Structure 1
Amino acid sequence: MRKVLLLSFGMFALGFDAYVIAGLIPGITDTYHKDASQVGQAVSIFTLFYAISAPLFSSLLAGKPIKKVLLAAMLVFTLANAITALAPNFSIFLLSRAIAGAGAGLFSPLAVAASTQLVPDAKKGRALGLTIGGMSMGTVLGVPIGLYIADFSNWKSAMWLVVILSLIAALGVFKLLPHFPASAPPALKERFKMFLDKRVAITVSITFFASIASLGLYTYLSPLLGELAPGNSLTTFLWAWGLGGLFGSVLVGYLIDYFKKPKTLVTIILSTLTLSVVCIPILIEFPVIKYLPFFIWGAMGWASQAPQQHILLSYQPKQGSTAVALNSSINYLGSSIGATLGGVVLTLQIGSISLVYFAILSMIISLCLQFYSMKSTYTLKESAKSA
């Protein structure tokens, strides 16, 4: 499992980088003299290239040595983050975020595939959980840690930390990871074929709108809290969200085993997530309790993906990896679009609170699709009983 831990560490660096910009927006706006909506597009660009890089490159990389591809992807990711820290202007800054997203999007699915080749069949589930958990841990902890470093020094120091982490991961892959065959991530054509299954299309659409709401809103947490709770520490709210994310990531596996009805669990998670977003402006003035919506938001946001994957695996048991990969790409695509639309909302200068209303609307769409999915499943079961 030590080699799996190495891949998990690489995934941690990816997760750390994915949303660290969200906490560094104030410092970056001062450096490049841009507003929050413009800087927020760095998150949008990173997640967009993350979403499309693996399916775009997977056909080209089929049959290539996995170790070499992983090493190349991590080196590209490392170099891109170094460019981010050194970027002399905003255009190069944005370009570096696109390159970093492409490197991350290529490394992630290959690392997940490789982790299952490093352990016996009995430990494959544990290896997958450890590898994917590395990225969630990096995402959850990256923003508050990055913000703390930026407060202590500057935002570029936080980016140099990402460079150091990813360089260590690259050296580990080069020195310790063995050469072995592993299947390439599913190609773009294979993922699009999944949309022909109506059940899969609805399920990933639910993921899409939930991601627009949750991760899109998170990108602009700094200007939102600046309007709703001026004078409050952004770091504390980020830690509340992050701790909630850790709690949700750990708990969701037990909930899936307990409920044994992933669709019901997804409905509960989405409803609770919507309620938590609604409560943000309502509870923001109350001491201590104001952090509760952020904790629940983080927990439900990170807990939503695992039961969705279970549902997709039940729909496409023979092409489960393709369905799950599609859901992952859609999740990051939703995040990218959420960050982009959030920037548009801020540009319209109608108040950061509008981001909350926008997120609630997106969550309502996601819930409507979820209820439709449950109704369709119930109708099919009833028809089967009648027959």
Structure 2
Amino acid sequence: MSHQEAGLSMMRRSSAGSHDHLPWAALLALSASGFLAIFTETIPAGLLPELASGLGISESAAGQMVTTYAMGSVVAAIPLVAITRTVSRRKVLLMAVGALGAFNLVTAVAPWFPAILAARFAAGTAAALVWGVLTGYTRGLVPANLQGRALAVTGLGQPIALAGGVPLGSFAASVMAWQWVFVTISIIAAGLVAWIVAVVPDVPGTALRRRTPLMQVVRLPGVRVVLGVTACWILAHNMLYTYAAPLLGQTELRLDVGLAVFGVTSMAGISLVGVVIDRALRLTTLTCIATMGVATAGWLAPQSGVAITVVLVTAWGLSFGGAPVLLQTALADRAGVHTDAAQSVFVTVFNLAVAGGGFVGGLILSAAGPVGIATSSAGLCVVAVMAVSIARWAFPPGRRHDGDSPVGTAECSAHCD
């Protein structure tokens, strides 16, 4: 056993305490880091009128603050994670969270709009580093039999931020100037830095001898399948989420109510996934994707009443809430000691699928209307279900265990030297 493996083993024993105990304080701090990254991304959407008025620009131009943030994540995920792979995980996370705080402060005080966009792009690169380190860090804090459940706890920050970011931004704009909203986020980031220092144990980075070329990591058995399923599932969801207004416009359910139902049920979904993920990763993944596909197909009947529409949105939220956790767990199991490198590709694919939901979905909406969105999303779910069903090596059945990864300790030299 190498020095790094011994350190990881000791860290897991000391932080987890027992085989059935989660280090809640540490995991919630990691979850808050994910919340901060998503909340920073979505908050401008709740401030569009105030941003447009205060900066003397159109609301569509103000919306580019979200776009540039996402592009920063896409561009930076792979190189930043590669550069920081040998650095301790806590140090990397502290740098990323600190950078989010700093660039939010720059956004608040920048004197002109191009500087604000540059700060938003830089903040997006910091967010990419948060997501790039979070999965491997979480798994390094707990024994193998609790890794899926731990990721579910860490992942709670994402649906909370997605559900609450826009309405909270709108509320904040009613009680303070938009600049103070970003100052407040910076203060929260500083508090989170202190929280991480106080309660999150450190985990070492990847040993230099294990720095494997990224394409070799992507070619590990099952990794490309998981990334392909990620692209299909996230694209299917984001077409629905981005164009929820025209979809719900066909029904009697108000948009704000529908999105609130989705937000609440997605949080319930990730909680349910956390209960079963370590016992049945494959079955849970199949069930969730298939359920979302069936719910999506329900949009093909546009005259559904409120009750049926609520059921469809509930099924959508429950089935998608745990998607990132399921996908990240499957990917980390396949990548083994190369989890952070694989996660950097995951972040890139995920963000491209998010952007694709708006772009591709817009083309489909223009050509075929809301029914085209529903049909395409359901079709992508079918493709994802088929991939998971066929590729048993990517989503193995049964319980997760220490030997899940094809790049475990005994086999590392074959892939890493």
1:47 is matched with 70
Equivalent position to 2:120, from 80, 97, 100? 97
Range with greater deviation from structure 2 (236-245 or 80-89): 80-89
CA displacement 1:196-233 (0-9 Å, x = unmatched): 35743233112112212313543455x64796579x86
Question: Are the aligned partners of 1:276 and 1:296 in contact in 2 as well (CA < 8 Å)?
Answer: yes
Map of 1:290-369 to 2, 5 A cutoff? 290-312=309-331, 315-316=334-335, 319=338, 322-323=341-342, 326-342=345-361, 350=366, 354=369, 357-358=372-373, 360-369=375-384
Q: CA deviation at 1:355?
A: 6.3
Q: CA deviation at 1:124?
A: 5.8
1:241 equivalenced with 2:265 (yes/no): no
Range with greater deviation from structure 2 (318-327 or 65-74): 318-327
1:10 is matched with 33
* C-alpha separation in 1, matches of 2:29 and 2:81: 22
Q: CA deviation at 1:361?
A: 1.5
Question: Are the aligned partners of 1:312 and 1:320 in contact in 2 as well (CA < 8 Å)?
Answer: yes
- Aligned residue identity for 2:271: V
Assess, with a 3 A threshold, how the Cα gap between structure 1 residues 83 and 227 changes in structure 2: closer, same or farther.
farther
Assess, with a 3 A threshold, how the Cα gap between structure 1 residues 276 and 127 changes in structure 2: closer, same or farther.
closer
* C-alpha separation in 2, matches of 1:253 and 1:84: 36
Instruction: Give the SS at the match of 1:206.
Output: helix
Q: CA deviation at 1:364?
A: 1.2
Map of 1:115-134 to 2, 5 A cutoff? 115=138, 127-134=150-157
- Aligned residue identity for 1:61: T
* C-alpha separation in 2, matches of 1:366 and 1:279: 13
1:385 is matched with none
Q: CA deviation at 1:373?
A: 4.9
Question: Are the aligned partners of 2:263 and 2:317 in contact in 1 as well (CA < 8 Å)?
Answer: yes
* C-alpha separation in 1, matches of 2:104 and 2:370: 28
- Aligned residue identity for 2:192: A
* C-alpha separation in 2, matches of 1:107 and 1:88: 28
Assess, with a 3 A threshold, how the Cα gap between structure 1 residues 373 and 247 changes in structure 2: closer, same or farther.
closer
Assess, with a 3 A threshold, how the Cα gap between structure 1 residues 113 and 375 changes in structure 2: closer, same or farther.
closer
Task: Report the TM-score, using the length of structure 2 for normalisation.
Answer: 0.70
Q: CA deviation at 1:128?
A: 3.9
Q: CA deviation at 1:247?
A: 1.1
Instruction: Give the SS at the match of 1:58.
Output: helix
Map of 1:46-195 to 2, 5 A cutoff? 46-86=69-109, 90-115=113-138, 127-150=150-173, 158-173=181-196, 176=198, 180-184=202-206, 190-195=213-218
* C-alpha separation in 1, matches of 2:145 and 2:263: 31
Question: Are the aligned partners of 2:72 and 2:124 in contact in 1 as well (CA < 8 Å)?
Answer: yes
Q: Which protein is richer in helix relative to its size?
A: 1
CA displacement 1:276-311 (0-9 Å, x = unmatched): 344458568744554443333222222223333454
Gaps of 5+ in 1: 382-387
Q: CA deviation at 1:338?
A: 2.4
Range with greater deviation from structure 2 (107-116 or 247-256): 107-116
* C-alpha separation in 2, matches of 1:149 and 1:79: 20
What is the Cα-based RMSD across aligned positions, in Å?
Answer: 4.2
Assess, with a 3 A threshold, how the Cα gap between structure 1 residues 54 and 148 changes in structure 2: closer, same or farther.
same
Task: Report the TM-score, using the length of structure 1 for normalisation.
Answer: 0.74
Identical counterparts, % of pairs: 21
Map of 1:244-283 to 2, 5 A cutoff? 244-256=265-277, 260=280, 262=282, 264-280=283-299, 282=301
Q: CA deviation at 1:246?
A: 0.3
Instruction: Give the SS at the match of 1:73.
Output: helix
